[in-house]
Structure 1
Amino acid sequence: MTPTRIAVVITLPVLVFYALISGASTPTVRSLIMIFIYMLALFLGRKGQWLNSLSIAALIILLWNPKALFELSFQLSFIAVFSIGYVLEKRAEDSGQNAELQSLLVEGGTKGRSAGIKRMSEKVKTAMLITIAAVLGTAPIVALVFKQFPLISPVTNLIVTPLVCFVILPLGFVTGFGALLFNMSSMPLSSVTDAVTHLALKLIKWFSNIPYASYRVPDPSFAIIALYFLSLIFLMKSKFKWRFLPLVFVICFYLVSPYLSNNNLRVTFLDAGQGDAAVIELPDGKVMLVDGSKKEPDMGRIVIAPYLWSRGIRRVDYIVMSHPHPDHFGGLIYIMDNFDVGEIWFNGRRSYESLEFFQKIAKKNIPHRILARGDILKAKAYKIYALHPYDEFYADSPRARFSNQNSASLVLKIESNNASILFTGDIETEAEENLTRLGNWLKSDIIKVPHHGGRTSSSTGFIQTVSPQTAVISVGRNNPYKHPHPETLKRYEDEGVRVFRTDTNGAVTIISKANTYEVKTYGDSRLKKVSAWQDEVRNLRLLL
C-alpha cells in the first residue's frame, strides 16, 4: 500500500469523528463529504472534480434533510464553496495548475517550499481571489439576511481565517484530546490557546470598529438578485473589454432604488412583541419612529433597525416617545446608537425607568422638544397634530400611577391628502373622555388601538368619535396580559371597524394612494402555496 493510501486510511476516521463531536452542522457535513470524495479519489488513484464533489455533498444532505435547502448555513456554505471553486478553476486554467485545484479547494492551499517573492505574491493573490469570490458569491444572501455588505472582509479573512483554522483549532483539538486521553486535570497549553483566542477576538473587534467596515444595504428584490448573478456570470464568461459594466449597473440601481419610491405616506406597525413600534415614511422623504417597544429583548436591535436598513433608511428625522414606559422606549436606545437622529419628541413626563433613555439623548446631544395639545407640524403634503396631553391634564385614575402615566401618552394625528392616522400611545378611559371633547379633530381613517387593546381603553364613545375604518393593535403573541381583551375587540367589531393585529397578522403596512389607502400585512409579502393560476401570478409579482 502506498503512503498516500495509508494517509487516507488513517485520516478519514479522524475526520468523521471530528465532524460528529462538532455537531455535524451543514457546513461540517458538506466539508466531510467533499473531503471523503477527494480522498477516495486519491485512494483509487483518480483525480476527482470539485464540482462533482460539491454536487454529491449537496445531494446527500438534501436527501437526508430536504429542509436544509432553506437553512442559511446550507445556502452560504455551498454558494461560497461554488464561488471559490469556480474562481480557482479559472485561475488554474490560466496558470496551468490544474493538478493543484483539488488540494486548493479542500486544504485551503498547497504546502510547499518558499520559491521566492513571485511565488509568495501568487499565494497572496490566490488567497485574495478566494475571499473576494466568497464575498461576491454570498453578497445577495448576506444583504437579504444581515442588511449589510462587508467591505473589508477580503482583508480581514486573510488575517483572521488562517489564525483560527491553522492555530486555534489545532491547539484546541490537541489540548482537548490530550487532557481526555491522559486523564489530566487541566488542559495542556491552555494558556497559549486562551491567549491566541483572545488575540483573534480582539482583531475581530478592532476590524469591526473601523469606520465603514461594513455598509448597511436595503433588501434586494429577487429580480435584483437574479440580475446580479447573471451579471457575475457575464463578467466571468465574457471576453468583452467592458464586461464589468452590467454588474456595476445592477449594483448602482440596487443602491439607489430605495430613493426612487413615490411620495405617498407609508406607515408600518412592526411586529415588535408586547410593545409599540411604528415607522412612518412621510411624503417628503422624512422618517418618523413612534415608540420603540422593549429593550429586553432588544426590539431596537432585533426588529426595528433591521426593518429600517431593509428600507434603505439610515436617518430617523423624528423619534417619538409616547410615554416613559419600557415597552415604548426600550428599543429606541439602540436606534439612537446606530442611526442619525434628527429630533426627539415626548410628552414632558419622565420616570425612573426612562433614566437611561434621557441619558442617551444627553450623551448624543440630540435635540428634543416637548409636544402638547395645539402643537402642529405643517409640511407640503401632510400635517402632524399634537392632540394630547396638555400641561394641566392629570388623569387621577383609580388604577394608580401606572394608569396615570398611560393616560398622559402623547397622542398624534398624521393627516395626508389621502389618509389620516391617529397614534394613541397607551391612553386609558380618563384620557379618552377628555379627548372626545375635540370632536371632529379626533376623526381619523386609521387608529392605533390604545394600550395594546386592553380593557380599560377603547371606550365606545371614543371609537365613535374617532370613527375609524381600520384599527391596528400592536401586541405580542401569548402575552401575559391577555391583550387584546375580547370586550375591546367586540367594541370595534360593533362599530364596523376592520381590525389588524401584529401578533396574528405580523407587521401591518398602510400606504396612502390616490384618494384612499391600502393595507398590507406581513403575510401579503410572502410566497403562497399555489392552488390556482392567480396564486402563481401573485407569487411572480412578489418575486419581481
Structure 2
Amino acid sequence: MLIGIYSVAFVLGVALLLQQPSLPEMYWCALLLLIGLPAGVLIPGESRKIQWAGRLLMLVVAFWAGFFWAALWAHGRLVDTLPLAWEGQDIAVIGVVTEMPQSGSRSIHFRFHVEQVLTPAAIVPDNILLSWYRNDRQADLAPPDITAGERWQLTVRLKRPHGNLNPHVADYSAKLFERDIRAVGYVRIADTNQRIEILARDPRYFFERKRTEIRDAMQSFLKDAPYAGPLIALAVGDQRAIPQAQWNVFTRTGTNHLMAISGLHITLVSGLVFSLIYWLWRRHSGLALWLPASKIAIVAGLVAALIYALLSGFAVPARRAFLMLAILSVTLWWDRRVSLLTVLGWVLLVVTLLDPWAVISPGFWLSFAAVGLIGLTVSGRIGQSGIVISWIRIQWAITLGLLPLLLFLFGQVSLVSPIANAFAIPWMTVAVVPFTLLALIPGLEFMLSIAHTAMQGLMIILQWLAEMPLAVWQQPAPRFWTVVAAVIGMIWLLLPGGFGLGVVAGFPARWLGILAVFPLFLNSPDRPAEGELWLTVLDVGQGLAVAARTRQHNLLFDTGQNYGEIDSGKQIIVPYLRGEGITALDRMIVSHADSDHSGGALSVMTSLSTQSLLGSLEASHPIKQAIADHQHCRAGDDWWWDGVHFAILHPDQSKSSGSKRNRNEFSCVLKITTRHGSVLLPADIGRTSEQELLQRARDTLPATVLIAPHHGSKSSSSAAFVRQVNPTYVIFPVGYRNPFNHPHPEVVNRYREQGARILRSDHDGAILLRLTRHGIAIDTARKLQRRFWHGTVNTTPAMR
C-alpha cells in the first residue's frame, strides 16, 4: 500500500512541474533529493513516531523526486528546438514516417523522424509533424500513399509548435510536447520529394505498418458501413476514424472509454488467449508434464496482451493495462499473492518514470483512477456479496469516483453513464470486441459483419439514452480546491466498510465524504456588475470570435474559423463559454460570411441555446436558416443591456449584402459603450467603409478599445480612421505566422504612433478585458496560463 502512496506523491511532483511557467534550476531539485533521500531511508524504525516521521519524509522526497525527474526530462526535450531563423524556410530532409498517417479531406498528416538535414546550416528537431496538402489545380500533385516505416526525402517548411491558448480549452502545444513533436509544418512541392526505401522488417515500425494495413483492410471491407469507425478504433486504436456525431453519443452516455483500447479490451484478449491455450495444452499429457498448462497459458496471454497493446498504439491506458498484467503474470507464475492496489502503485511509478509527459493526458488520470477505484471498492469485500451486487457496486463506485475528475477535465459528466455502461460493457465484451478481433485473422474477415451488426444494436440503445433531456450534467469549470476536496471525499466514501448497501465493519463515518463533495457543485461564476462589460477576444487563429457579457446578458460577435473536419465553435468557443458558466446566448452577431468569421456558428448554435441572430448574410445562408429570429445588420439599430449600450454603425440601411468579392465592406460594425469605456468591433471593413463611417458616424467612432479592422491588413486602418478612433488599446486577432502577414508592420506602427498599446492573439492568446468602475483590467491567456513549453514567439513574416 505504501508504494501506491509514494507513487501518487511522485506523480503529483511531476504534475507540479507541468504547471511551471519556466523551468527551475536543476541544482535546487538535486539539493532537496541529496538531503531528503538519505534521511528518509536511514531513519530507524524502532519507534512508531520515528517510523511515521520517516514515512512522511519519504513522501516529501517522492514528491520532489517526481518534480526533479520531470524537470530533467524537460531540459533535455527543450534542447531539441527549431531555431527561430529557420521558421518558414525551405529545408530538405531525409527521415522515416514513424506513425500511422491520418488522412483528411484535403491532406494527409504524419509524424516524421528526421535522420539527416540536407540543407546546409539548417537545424531541425528530431521529431516533426507534417501535412501534405492536395493541390486542387494540379491533380497529379496529390499526396502519394504514405505508410509508417517508409524513408522519404522531402522539402518542408516548419514552425515551432504553437497552439491557440484560451481559458477552459485544451492546450494543443501541450499535446505536441507530450508526443515529443518539436516542430510542425508541411511538405513543399519539389521534384526531389521521393520515397527512398521501405523499412518493412525494421521492428521499430513493424506494428505501425500493421496498424495501417489492418485499418485499410477494414475500411475496404466495411466500405460505407455507418459504424466502421468504432470497429477500426477497437482494432487498431484509431479514434479519429469515429465520426463526431457518434463521439457525441459516446460522450453523452459516458461510454467513450469503450472506444479506447484500454484495460478492459487488453484483459479480454489476454483472458481469451489464456483460456484457449490452457484448454489445448491440458489435452496433451506430455506437454502438461513438461510445463504446466497454467504457466504456458500465462505466457501466451501476456504475449497476446503485448501484441494487442502495440497494435493499439501503446497509449497510456494500454501501457497501464499491459504492465499490470505483466506483474500479475509474474506473481501467478511463482504462486504469489499481491493486492490490486500494490500492483497499481508499481505500474503508476513505472509509467511515469518512463514517460513523465503521460501526466499531461486526461487518459492517464482517468485510467489509473478507474482501476484505483475498483481496487478500493473490492478491498476487504471479497465474498461479501454475489457477482451481480459486486458489479453494481463497482459501476457506481467508478461513476461517482470519477465525477470530480470528469468535471475538472471536461466540464461535464454523463448522468446515464451507470445505465449505459451496465449493458454496454458486457455487450462489447461478448459481442463486439471478440468478433472484431477474430476478423483480423486471415480468412475470418466476415466476422466484421457480425461485429458491425452487434454495434448497430448497441448504438440504438445508446442514441436513445443520449437524447434524454438530462443525459449530461454540465457546469462551469470548478475551482481547483473544490476538486481536491471532492476527490478526498470520494476516497473516504469508498473506503472499506460497505458501499451503498449497508454498513459493515470498517472505516467509521464514511458518509462525511459526501460533505466534501458539495462545494464542487456550489460553484457560482462571477458576473459583471450593473453597467460593466466583460469582453474576451478568443484566440481562434486567423479569425475572430469575441464574447461579451453584461450583468444578465451574453453576446457572441463572430465565431472563428472552419477547418473542414473541425471548427472554432466546437473546439474553442463552446468549451470556453461552458467553462464560464454560459449556457445560452441572447444574441449572436456574424459580421459577414467569410469562413474565418462565420466558421463556428452552426456548432455554437447546436451546443448552446441562441435567441437571436444579427448578420450580413444572404437569406439562403445555412446560418440564417438555422435560427428563427434573424435580422440583417443595419446602421442605427441599437439596444441596452444592464446599463450597457450596443449600437450597429455599419452597413448603412440603404445597402444590401455585397458580393463574395467585396463582402468585407458590408461587415457588421458594433460599438459597445459603458460608463467606464467603450469597445469598437469593425470586423473586416476596409478603407472604403472606414471613409464612409468617418463621413456618416464620425462622432461615434472614438473608443477605448479597438479590435483592429481586417486583422490589421494594409488595406484597412487608414491614418484618418486611426486618428478618429484614437484607441488606448488595439487588439489584432491573427494566427501565428499567418500566410497574409497580418498585422502589417505599417499598420502596427500607425497605432503605436497614435499611442495605443498593442495586443495580439498570436502573442498573447485570448485577451480578457473588464471595463468596470475600477477602470479597465486586461489579462491574457499566455500570461495567466504560461507554461515552460510555450517557448518564444517569432515576429518575423509568416510561412508562405
Same fold (TM over 0.5): yes
Is 1:58 equivalent to 2:324 in the alignment? no
The structural deviation recorded for 1:276 is 1.2
Question: Match of 2:417?
Answer: 153
The structural deviation recorded for 1:54 is 0.7
Q: Distance in 1 between matches of 2:687 and 2:528?
A: 40
Question: Match of 1:165?
Answer: 429
Ranked by relative contact order (alpha carbons within 8 Å, sequence separation 6 or more), the top structure is: 2
**Structure 1 residues 462, 13: closer, same or farther in 2, change over 3 A?**
same
Given the alignment, which residue of 605, 608, 616 partners 1:336? Answer: 605
**CA deviation profile, 1:406-448 (whole Å, cap 9, x unmatched):** 1222111111221211111111101111222333321111001
**Structure 1 residues 261, 469: closer, same or farther in 2, change over 3 A?**
closer
**CA deviation profile, 1:509-535 (whole Å, cap 9, x unmatched):** 111232411111111221556xxxxxx
Q: Distance in 1 between matches of 2:741 and 2:337?
A: 65
The structural deviation recorded for 1:316 is 0.2
Q: Quick check: 1:87–1:133 contact (8 Å CA) kept in 2?
A: yes
Is 1:26 equivalent to 2:316 in the alignment? yes
Question: Match of 1:258?
Answer: 525
Is 1:129 equivalent to 2:393 in the alignment? yes
Given the alignment, which residue of 438, 446, 449 partners 1:174? Answer: 438
Is 1:8 equivalent to 2:266 in the alignment? no
Q: Distance in 2 between matches of 1:87 and 1:394?
A: 66
**CA deviation profile, 1:249-270 (whole Å, cap 9, x unmatched):** 213313xx12666554211111
Where 2:621 maps in the other structure, the secondary structure is: helix
Where 1:258 maps in the other structure, the secondary structure is: coil
Question: Match of 1:293?
Answer: 560
Question: Match of 2:198?
Answer: none
Where 2:535 maps in the other structure, the secondary structure is: strand
Question: Match of 1:431?
Answer: 689
Is 1:268 equivalent to 2:536 in the alignment? yes
- Greater CA drift, 381-390 or 444-453: 381-390
Where 1:378 maps in the other structure, the secondary structure is: strand
Given the alignment, which residue of 593, 618, 643 partners 1:381? Answer: 643
Q: Residues 298-377 of structure 1: matches in 2 within 5 Å?
A: 298-347=567-616, 350=618, 355-361=621-627, 365=628, 367-377=629-639
Q: Quick check: 2:562–2:596 contact (8 Å CA) kept in 1?
A: yes
Where 2:771 maps in the other structure, the secondary structure is: strand
Given the alignment, which residue of 139, 164, 189 partners 2:403? Answer: 139
Where 1:91 maps in the other structure, the secondary structure is: coil
The structural deviation recorded for 1:374 is 2.5
Question: Match of 1:199?
Answer: 457
Question: Match of 1:79?
Answer: 369
**CA deviation profile, 1:180-232 (whole Å, cap 9, x unmatched):** xxxx3x62433222212333344433332222211222212212211211222
Q: Quick check: 2:553–2:586 contact (8 Å CA) kept in 1?
A: yes
**CA deviation profile, 1:490-512 (whole Å, cap 9, x unmatched):** 21122121111112211111112
Question: Match of 1:108?
Answer: none
More helix by share: 1
Is 1:495 equivalent to 2:764 in the alignment? no
RMSD value, Cα: 2.5
Question: Match of 1:111?
Answer: none
Q: Distance in 1 between matches of 2:342 and 2:640?
A: 64
Question: Match of 1:213?
Answer: 471
- Greater CA drift, 7-16 or 56-65: 7-16
**CA deviation profile, 1:83-138 (whole Å, cap 9, x unmatched):** 2211121533xx55xxxxxxxxxxxxxxxxxxxxxx7xx43332232223223333
Q: Quick check: 1:267–1:280 contact (8 Å CA) kept in 2?
A: yes
User: Residue type matched to 2:649 in 1?
Assistant: L
Q: Quick check: 1:160–1:203 contact (8 Å CA) kept in 2?
A: no
User: Residue type matched to 1:57 in 2?
Assistant: V
Q: Quick check: 1:319–1:341 contact (8 Å CA) kept in 2?
A: yes
Q: Quick check: 2:475–2:578 contact (8 Å CA) kept in 1?
A: yes
Q: Distance in 1 between matches of 2:520 and 2:691?
A: 54
Q: Distance in 2 between matches of 1:355 and 1:501?
A: 31
Q: Quick check: 1:321–1:346 contact (8 Å CA) kept in 2?
A: yes
Where 1:478 maps in the other structure, the secondary structure is: coil
Is 1:410 equivalent to 2:668 in the alignment? yes
If the length of structure 2 is used for normalisation, what is the TM-score?
Answer: 0.57
Question: Match of 2:172?
Answer: none
The structural deviation recorded for 1:472 is 1.2
Q: Quick check: 1:135–1:154 contact (8 Å CA) kept in 2?
A: yes
The structural deviation recorded for 1:248 is 4.9
Where 2:438 maps in the other structure, the secondary structure is: helix
- Greater CA drift, 370-379 or 336-345: 370-379
Q: Distance in 1 between matches of 2:718 and 2:340?
A: 68
Question: Match of 1:391?
Answer: 653
**Structure 1 residues 231, 11: closer, same or farther in 2, change over 3 A?**
closer
If the length of structure 1 is used for normalisation, what is the TM-score?
Answer: 0.83
User: Residue type matched to 2:626 in 1?
Assistant: K
Q: Residues 377-526 of structure 1: matches in 2 within 5 Å?
A: 377-392=639-654, 401-402=659-660, 404-437=662-695, 438-526=697-785
Q: Distance in 2 between matches of 1:387 and 1:17?
A: 64
User: Residue type matched to 1:50 in 2?
Assistant: L
**Structure 1 residues 401, 455: closer, same or farther in 2, change over 3 A?**
farther
The structural deviation recorded for 1:402 is 4.6
Q: Distance in 2 between matches of 1:190 and 1:233?
A: 41
Question: Match of 2:327?
Answer: 37
Q: Quick check: 1:394–1:404 contact (8 Å CA) kept in 2?
A: no
- Identity in percent: 28
Question: Match of 1:112?
Answer: none
**Structure 1 residues 414, 260: closer, same or farther in 2, change over 3 A?**
closer
Q: Quick check: 1:417–1:515 contact (8 Å CA) kept in 2?
A: no
Q: Distance in 2 between matches of 1:21 and 1:476?
A: 36
Question: Match of 1:91?
Answer: 381
Give the number of aligned pairs. Answer: 484
The structural deviation recorded for 1:328 is 1.7
Q: Distance in 2 between matches of 1:197 and 1:89?
A: 34
User: Residue type matched to 2:766 in 1?
Assistant: A
Q: Residues 525-544 of structure 1: matches in 2 within 5 Å?
A: 525-526=784-785
